[in-house]
Amino acid sequence: MSTQRIYLVGAGVIARSHAAAIQRLPDPEQVMLAVTDPNPQAMAAFVREYPQARVFEDAQTMLAEAADENDIVIISAPPFAHEELTCAALATGRHVLCEKPLALNQEQARHMLAVAHAYHRLLGCCSVRCLNWPPAEEARRLLQKQALGQLYHVRFLNLEQRNRPGIEFQPQTNWFLDQARSGGGTLMDRAPYEFTVLNDLLQPRRVEVLNAWLANPATALHLPPQTIVDVEQHAGATLRYTLVDGSNVIMNYERASGTHSEEQSMIEFTGVNGSLRWSWPLSRGRATLTHTYDRDGASESRIIAFPPPAAEALRFGEKPLVYFYQRIHNQPSAAVVNEQALFNFSCIRAIYDCATSGLAQVVEKQSLS
């Protein structure tokens, strides 16, 4: 097997999870890893863990060598740097796997996709970490069997009382709280996973955000002086999904990383013949799916329990690289790339645009290439 070259732009916690995922590739001994990060402490910590990595002072120097057909660049920098770094890497003739959120806004994301097309490279997003969760895959099977009949309503509810990026989660990383650097709050950080799963199950050709709201519930904060805090921690929207068969499904979506509401996690798909209900994969508790239907005029529910993941199953942090590797090597893959990556991201940005403008927003899926 030829050498697979992987270039990491960023050497922090997320970058180290990508480096660890190399062991799940078919021939990890044949992977040549390179890394760069302007933070010397992050670089030192990375090299201690991965001493075989080639170290470069900046991305431009690292990517100056001639590109191979299957080179992968992983952008593990904060969102405000995604567009510039991604486009520069694509322009060297390499495929790029970008951390979520894909960009700060739709304009940046569209530009990134245009550059990917111009250089005939793949642009992937790391928002795939929650795909292939057993309850969701069972839901897919039942939906394909038409077990629910005509689908008409989806509820997505994922409320955490105190898990705010930059505060309780990775409290040393204050850029999460600064909209100019993060693009937004809980939606930008967590919704990429959620809309990747929802859109993967529903396969919409059009999504309309009919109304939306953003809030930042007040709590005591213990942050360094002059920390900018201008992002939402609780958000919701009503969306209309138009499916490939032309039918419409209304979705009520709500998520929070900080709220005074009760902690809850539920995904529910409802059709004329039944409903399916399960919890978000990062919530606590066993993996189960509840199928509710009518039996002789009475409501009946069947609970399907799933065993813990097998030891060989891909873990949360391993999926982005493994799926992207599979895609560029023309293998069956759950990778989210190009137009699908833009579409998923645009659904999230449309919630922001609707909430701030008060006007409904429409996201149309482009033909995939």
Which pLDDT does position 92 carry in this prediction?
A: 98
> Could you give the 3-state DSSP secondary structure of residue 58?
coil
Name all contacts of 55-60 with Cβ < 8 Å and 24+ positions apart.
59/7, 59/9, 59/85, 59/88, 59/89, 60/88
Mean of the per-residue pLDDT values of the chain: 96
Q: Where are the domains of the chain?
A: 4-125, 134-314+351-364
C-alpha–C-alpha distance, residues 4 and 163, integer Å: 37
What phi and psi values does residue 220 have, to the nearest 5 degrees? -65, 135
Q: Report pLDDT for 283.
A: 57
| Residues present in the chain in total | 369
Reported as half-sphere exposure (CB side, CA atoms, 13 A), residue 279 has a value of 17
- Segments in the chain below pLDDT 70: 1, 282-285, 367-369
User: What sign does the dihedral 288-253-351-221 (CA atoms) show?
Assistant: negative
pLDDT above 90 coverage of the chain, percent: 95
Torsion of CA 112, 81, 97, 52, to 10 degrees: 150
pLDDT at 312: 85
Distances (CA, A) of 25 to 3, 72, 132, 236: 12, 13, 18, 38
Task: Render pLDDT for 332-350 as a digit per residue (tens, 0 to 9).
Answer: 999 999 999 999 999 999 9
Q: What pLDDT does residue 285 have?
A: 62
* Whole-angstrom distance, CA of residue 49 vs CA of residue 42: 11
Backbone angles phi, psi at 55, to 5 degrees: -110, 135
Q: How far is the C-alpha of 369 from the C-alpha of 366, rounded, in Å?
A: 9
The pLDDT value recorded for residue 317 is: 94
Residue 238 contacts by C-beta under 8 Å, 6 or more apart in sequence?
209, 210, 211, 212, 250, 251, 252, 253
Give the homologous superfamily in CATH for domain 134-314+351-364.
Dihydrodipicolinate Reductase; domain 2 (3.30.360.10)
Encoded tokens for 350: 């449309």
- How far apart are alpha carbons 238 and 362 in whole angstroms? 12
Question: What's the whole-model pTM score?
Answer: 0.96
Q: Please tell me the distance from the alpha carbon of residue 20 to that of residue 352, in angstroms, as a whole number.
A: 34
- What is the maximum span of the chain, computed from C-alpha positions, in angstroms? 70
Q: What is the CATH superfamily name and number for domain 4-125?
A: NAD(P)-binding Rossmann-like Domain (3.40.50.720)
Ranges of beta strands (E only) in 121-259 are 123-125, 151-159, 204-215, 234-243, 248-256
